Structure 1
Amino acid sequence: MKAIGKKQSVLPGFGPSLGYTVFYLSFVVLIPLSALVFKTASLSWSEFLAAVTAPRVLASYRVTFGASLLAAAVNGIFGVLVAWVLVRYRFPGKKLIDALVDLPFALPTAVAGITLSSVYAANGWVGRYLEPRGVKVAFTPLGILVAMIFIGLPFVVRTVQPVLEELDHEIEEAASCLGANRWQTFHRILFPTMLPAILTGFALAFARAVGEYGSIIFIAGNMPMVSEITPLLIITKLEQYDYAGATAIASVMLLASFLLLLAINLLQKWSRRHAEQ
């Protein structure tokens, strides 16, 4: 006999499901991150500061986070344009272009890096026209930006695209009937609705770019103090059996990424409240 007044769960087996979820997340996420922190804790404070503030390490931070932010911003603009075209227009080859957007998801990162470096090299399809004009992409920091834009574009497109598909065209027609021009309709009606999705895509593209390794090392040149990314420096530390130094640098990247993503999530929350008002 069921107890009177006992509230039934909507999902059966909530307790075991929650326990499995906590166990799975702990096993996959929390335990590896805890091992990273504990290994870093083996260093003294002075050793930790020396490891994470060395000139070569600081230069890699500037390259990695600077290029990641710039690539995410570029994808935030052009990703919205691509999503807009795919949703609002009909043209031959639309399904093919829609499928090509997902190509960076499926393409192995090493293949992407080799392809980009061969295309933008001095004798490549694109590089042969750029380098005579003074624009060198391959084996420069610009090549890092190109690789990050390549691997981050799908995150913005696939995040914004469903929001555009759900927008009611009648709202735009009503705004037009009330005298709003196209810019006012986009700025005051469409953009506030799209902003949370744009910020989400920006955050995902940024996080993907920060942790990218395979596609970048082939096109970056990997010159210390110039075009060396932080993940490559961590690999270099591991190859030198400097495990504590590698985990110290990884901890800084983890903390910086967490703080930036937290700030973006708070901005998303604010934008949703602003759009609902």
Structure 2
Amino acid sequence: MSVSAKATRRGVLPGFGLTMGYSILYLSLVVLIPLAALLFNSTGLTFAKFWSVATDPRVLASYRVSLTTAAAAALVDGLLGLLLAWVLVRYRFPGKRIFDALIDLPFALPTAVAGVSLTALYSGNGWIGSLLEPLGIKVAFTPLGITLALMFIGIPFVVRTVQPVLEDLERDTEEAAATLGAGRWRIFRKVLLPELIPPLLTGFALAFARGIGEYGSVVFISGNMPMRTEIAPLLIMSKLEQYDYAGATAVALLLLLISFLMLLVINMLQRWTHKASR
């Protein structure tokens, strides 16, 4: 075998073994070892205790609130994120760079600051809440308020996932479809949407996963009422404050399992849509 063939077989970049070793070490320290510590901790969690916590009505209610609000927020973020990404890619307007930078604001803003700001806006005496409550729409301290907070922190995930795909799409395909007589809706449905479904699913998964575990921006606007607006992360914090480490671990394990299953389903859908689009 020639030297060039060996180099090609090893790969373009040198030091694959060393870089792979560092990558696995970093992944283990940051992700795998903490998850293993959660699974094999010494807090006295037995199967009986785990089942007791998992079937507790208060725990089930907290998961219902977290999952439903996170799913609703991620769905709305999917639609709004696609619209925002479309505007940023396809149009030019004054202040576009500032508008583009504001999309990343939820990444930089502390979540507690976002929660306090949203509560001040949507409470009964807030700027927006005072206008909505006479109409019978109460936002703060309701699941609707939790959904709004999760929409705020989740929208950048969708925009930044869809935006690069839109930028890479060829305009020639759209123009060819238009010259063949296809309307705007048909072009979007047949030409653009198959390419946008995988990034939309990715953005939805990221926003949904972030929403399930979000704490800082939700704890203020939720009101923390058990069986109504109490979220699962807050329940974990409550159990830790009561030194119920086994109960907190059980709730965290359920949350981890739900997130893992959700990401697995989304990845399977992405593969299927990618194969179908091809």
- Output the TM-score relative to the length of structure 2: 0.95
- How far, CA to CA, are the matches of 2:173 and 2:98 in structure 1? 30
Residue 113 of structure 2 contacts residue 217 of structure 2 at CA under 8 Å; is this kept in 1? Answer: yes
Question: Could you tell me which residue of structure 2 aligns to residue 145 of structure 1?
Answer: 147
- How far, CA to CA, are the matches of 1:4 and 1:219 in structure 2? 63
Q: How does 1:96-115 map to 2 (within 5 A)?
A: 96-115=98-117
What residue identity is the alignment partner of 2:36? Answer: S
What residue identity is the alignment partner of 1:255? Answer: L
Range moving further from structure 2, 43-52 or 113-122:
43-52
Return the match for 1:202 from 183, 201, 204: 204
What residue identity is the alignment partner of 1:186? Answer: F
Q: Per-residue CA shift, 1:238-258, capped at 9, x if unaligned? A: 001011110111001101110
- How far, CA to CA, are the matches of 1:119 and 1:102 in structure 2? 21
Question: Could you tell me which residue of structure 1 aligns to residue 40 of structure 2?
Answer: 38
Residue 207 of structure 1 contacts residue 257 of structure 1 at CA under 8 Å; is this kept in 2? Answer: yes
- How far, CA to CA, are the matches of 1:106 and 1:43 in structure 2? 37
Return the match for 2:238 from 232, 236, 239: 236
User: What SS does the aligned partner of 1:39 have?
Assistant: coil
Residue 148 of structure 1 contacts residue 216 of structure 1 at CA under 8 Å; is this kept in 2? Answer: yes
Range moving further from structure 2, 153-162 or 15-24:
15-24
Q: Per-residue CA shift, 1:152-178, capped at 9, x if unaligned? A: 001001110111111111111100111
CA 1:227/1:15 → structure 2, altered by over 3 Å: closer, same or farther? Answer: same
User: What SS does the aligned partner of 2:41 have?
Assistant: helix
- How far, CA to CA, are the matches of 1:193 and 1:40 in structure 2? 47
Question: Could you tell me which residue of structure 2 aligns to residue 227 of structure 1?
Answer: 229
Return the match for 1:116 from 112, 115, 118: 118
Question: Could you tell me which residue of structure 2 aligns to residue 20 of structure 1?
Answer: 22
Q: Per-residue CA shift, 1:217-258, capped at 9, x if unaligned? A: 010000000000000000000001011110111001101110
Using the aligned pairs only, state the percent identity. 61
CA RMSD of aligned residues (A): 1.6
What residue identity is the alignment partner of 1:55? Answer: P
Residue 40 of structure 1 contacts residue 247 of structure 1 at CA under 8 Å; is this kept in 2? Answer: no
CA 1:40/1:128 → structure 2, altered by over 3 Å: closer, same or farther? Answer: farther
- How far, CA to CA, are the matches of 2:17 and 2:208 in structure 1? 35
Deviation at 1:41, TM superposition (A): 8.3
Residue 75 of structure 1 contacts residue 156 of structure 1 at CA under 8 Å; is this kept in 2? Answer: yes
Range moving further from structure 2, 89-98 or 247-256:
89-98
| 1:56 matches 2:58 | yes
- How far, CA to CA, are the matches of 2:80 and 2:186 in structure 1? 20
Question: Could you tell me which residue of structure 1 aligns to residue 74 of structure 2?
Answer: 72
Deviation at 1:43, TM superposition (A): 2.5
| 1:252 matches 2:254 | yes
- How far, CA to CA, are the matches of 2:269 and 2:141 in structure 1? 35
User: What SS does the aligned partner of 1:152 have?
Assistant: helix
Residue 163 of structure 1 contacts residue 197 of structure 1 at CA under 8 Å; is this kept in 2? Answer: yes
User: What SS does the aligned partner of 1:43 have?
Assistant: coil
Range moving further from structure 2, 41-50 or 17-26:
41-50
Moved over 3 A (4+): 2-9
What residue identity is the alignment partner of 2:126? Answer: G
Structure 2 alignment gaps of length 5 or more: none
Structure 1 alignment gaps of length 5 or more: none
Residue 155 of structure 1 contacts residue 201 of structure 1 at CA under 8 Å; is this kept in 2? Answer: yes
Deviation at 1:40, TM superposition (A): 7.5
Deviation at 1:52, TM superposition (A): 1.5
User: What SS does the aligned partner of 1:23 have?
Assistant: helix
- How far, CA to CA, are the matches of 1:41 and 1:196 in structure 2? 40
Residue 69 of structure 1 contacts residue 206 of structure 1 at CA under 8 Å; is this kept in 2? Answer: yes
Question: Could you tell me which residue of structure 1 aligns to residue 93 of structure 2?
Answer: 91
